[in-house]
Each structure stands twice: as C-alpha cells, then as structure tokens.
Amino acid sequence: MRHQKIALVIMAVLFALAPLAVYPVFIMKVMTFALFACAFNLLIGYGGLLSFGHAMFLGTAGYAAAHSAKVWGFPPELAILFGTGAAALLGVVTGLLAIRRQGIYFAMITLALAQMIYFYYLQVKFTGGEDGIQAVPRGTLFGFIDLSNIWAMYYTVLVIFLGGFLAIYRVIHSPFGQVLKCIRENEPRAISLGYDTTRYKLLAFVISATLAGLAGATKALVFQLASLTDVHWTMSGEVVLMTLLGGLGTIFGPVVGALIIISMENYLAQLGAWVTIVQGVIFVVCVLTFRRGVIGELASFLKKPL
C-alpha cells in the first residue's frame, strides 16, 4: 500500500510538471486516454469482463458534453457532468443487456451494442455526422476560471484525471472491490458464498462506463470537438491495447499504456498508416514476451503490486 501511495505522488508530480517540458495539449490527451483506460481496466482487470464496446461511453459523453456546452450553453462543469451522466445511463442500459453473458459472448454483445450506437450517431443530426460537433466552447469553470487559458484547462484536466484515478483506486480497494476480485477469480465459488454476482458485475460495468464518460466529456472540452472517432470500434480496440500494454489488472498500467500509445500516435504521425503496423508489432511482442504488460512485469520484478 505504501509504495502505491508513493508511486501515486510521483505520478501526480510528473503530470503537474510535465507541461514545462512537453506540449500541454499532448499531455491533456494522454491524461484523458489514461482515465479512459483506467476505467476500462477496472472492468477487465478487476472484474474479469472484457468489454469490446467501451468507445460508446467515451463517445456518448463527448457528444453530450459538446452539445450541451455549444447548443444549450452549459458551463463546463455542468457539460462534463451531463456527459458523464449520459454515459452512466447508457452503461446501465447496455450493462443490463450484456452482463448475463460471459467471456467472448459478453465481448460480442458489447461490440454489437457499440456498433448500433455508432450508426445511430452517424445518422442523427445533432452529432453533425462525419463533421462532428466542432468549435465547442470551453467556457468558464464555476463562473470564474476561464478555460480558454491553456494553463487553467491543463490543471482542470489534471484534477479530473487524478480524481477519477483515485475514485478507481478506492473502488478497487473497497469491500465491493474485494467481492469483484473474487468473481474474477472464481465466479461459481462467489455464487456459492451467496453473492449475486450479476449485480456486482453490473455495478462494476456502470462505474466503468461512468468514468469512461468522464474521460470522454473532458476530452470534448479539451479538443473542443466531439467526433465519430471516439465512438468507432477502433477506439474500443485501442483501449484494450493500452491496458494490455501497460498491464492488465495493475493500477498504474493503463496510464503507462495510454502514454505509450498516444506518444506513438503523436510522434510517429509522419509515418502515416505505418503507425497502425508499429502498434500491431508492439502488441504481438507484448503478448509474446511480456504478457503482464510494462507495469505488470515491473511489479512482479519488485514483488509489489503497482
């Protein structure tokens, strides 16, 4: 526990000081994706449920936040809340449909639902179809923090990211998290101890969807854009990749995974389509040689959970 707290402080300090050395918009992108991956990891790493449709929560929250900020004139705090709430609601509905199936069937149902959501957003007017919702105003947080100032935006995102990260950390280390881990380890046994495992899995699914939504809503304000990219199935795939690469079922793994993937997309952009191939190769190498992911391997080397 203590070393996790130390690692957490180091992470917070690194992100707080990072914009001194690196382009802040890039790090904000990393933080939103890191939160997205952490939310996804809560479900697969601690509940043993592979969702292949998590982009629907990221994208839905993005659209809801962007629309409410741009068209309805919501202030940023309410836009983010509204986007997160929309993802939570979608999480309840899709969760109820998907949670009764296990393994690959669960993954397939979440994928199917996400595809339905994707085509819905492609057709309806308010999302702007291929164009997306552009020029979303960042607004003034709580009426006095002007988010068009890059530093104000940066530290707002930092606070949201750390808040979401701590929330996930708490869920993992709660009585609920303890039951969740048991379900991951041995579901029939958890049932035989009297736990209604379906309801625990549903709650985990909704929490995960909600936090993925928080990431999506924040992302829409940072980039002042909500687009189809965020609901596309490749986005669902990308979050799987980030989590696996960083370390499935580790607390810091998804953050590292997001950092690596986003860095590659940013700094290898001139390679064009080759980025996908590089990612594919990294994925294969990861699965073949360091299956536990960067943080997972590090944790087993240090013999401490990270």
Partner 1 sequence: MAEEIILETRALTKEFKGFVAVKDVSLKVRRGTIHALIGPNGAGKTTCFNLLTHFLEPTRGQIFFKGGEITGSAPARIARMGLVRSFQISAVFPHLTVLENVRVALQRKRGASFDFWRSEQVLRRLDEPARELIDAVGLREFEQTVAVELPYGRKRALEIATTLALDPEMMLLDEPTAGMTHEDVGRIEALIKRVSANRTVLMVEHNLSVVSTLSDTITVLQRGEILAEGNYDSVSKNPAVIEAYLGAER
Q: By CB under 8 A, is residue 182 in contact with partner 1?
A: yes
Residue 209 has, within 13 A of its CA and on its CB side, a CA count of: 28
Q: How is residue 226 annotated by DSSP?
A: B
Number of residues that bind partner 1 (CB under 8 A): 26
Q: By CB under 8 A, is residue 282 in contact with partner 1?
A: no
Q: How is residue 101 annotated by DSSP?
A: S
Q: By CB under 8 A, is residue 189 in contact with partner 1?
A: yes
Strand ranges (DSSP E) for the chain? 140-141, 145-146
Q: Between residues 125 and 303, which has the closer beta carbon with respect to partner 1? A: 303
Q: By CB under 8 A, is residue 102 in contact with partner 1?
A: no
26, 155, 176, 290: which one binds partner 1 (CB under 8 A): 176
Concatenate the DSSP letters of all residues of 51-78 into one string: -S-THHHHHHHHHHHHHHHHTS---HHH
Interface positions, 135-174, toward partner 1 (CB under 8 A): 170-171, 173-174
What is the rounded CA–CA span in Å between residue 39 and residue 15? 19
Amino acid at 217: A
For the range 298-305, what are the long-range contacts, defined as Cβ-Cβ under 8 Å and sequence gap of 24 or more?
A: 298/247, 299/247, 299/250, 302/3, 304/3, 305/4, 305/250, 305/251
Q: Which two tokens stand for residue 226?
A: 């909500």
Please check whether residue 245 is in contact with residue 293, taking contact to mean a CB–CB distance below 8 angstroms: yes
Q: By CB under 8 A, is residue 304 in contact with partner 1?
A: no
Residue among 97, 108, 111 at smallest CA distance from 55:
111
22, 126, 185, 274: which one binds partner 1 (CB under 8 A): 185
Q: By CB under 8 A, is residue 74 in contact with partner 1?
A: no
Q: Cβ of residue 173: shortest distance to partner 1, in angstroms?
A: 5
- Phi, psi (rounded to 5 degrees) for 16: -70, -35
Q: By CB under 8 A, is residue 200 in contact with partner 1?
A: yes
User: Which CA distances in Å does 3 have to 6, 7, 31, 38, 248?
Assistant: 5, 6, 22, 19, 19
Q: By CB under 8 A, is residue 131 in contact with partner 1?
A: no
Q: Which two tokens stand for residue 132?
A: 């997306």
Q: Cβ of residue 180: shortest distance to partner 1, in angstroms?
A: 9
Q: Cβ of residue 29: shortest distance to partner 1, in angstroms?
A: 28
Q: Between residues 39 and 179, which has the closer beta carbon with respect to partner 1? A: 179
197, 208, 236, 243: which one binds partner 1 (CB under 8 A): 197
Q: By CB under 8 A, is residue 175 in contact with partner 1?
A: yes
Q: Between residues 146 and 196, which has the closer beta carbon with respect to partner 1? A: 196
Listed ranges 81-89, 101-109, 175-183, 261-269: which one lies at the site for partner 1 (CB under 8 A): 175-183
Listed ranges 15-23, 56-64, 199-207, 213-221: which one lies at the site for partner 1 (CB under 8 A): 199-207
Q: Which two tokens stand for residue 118?
A: 């994707």
Q: Residue numbers of the site for partner 1 (CB under 8 A)?
A: 170-171, 173-179, 181-182, 185-186, 188-189, 191-197, 199-200, 203, 207
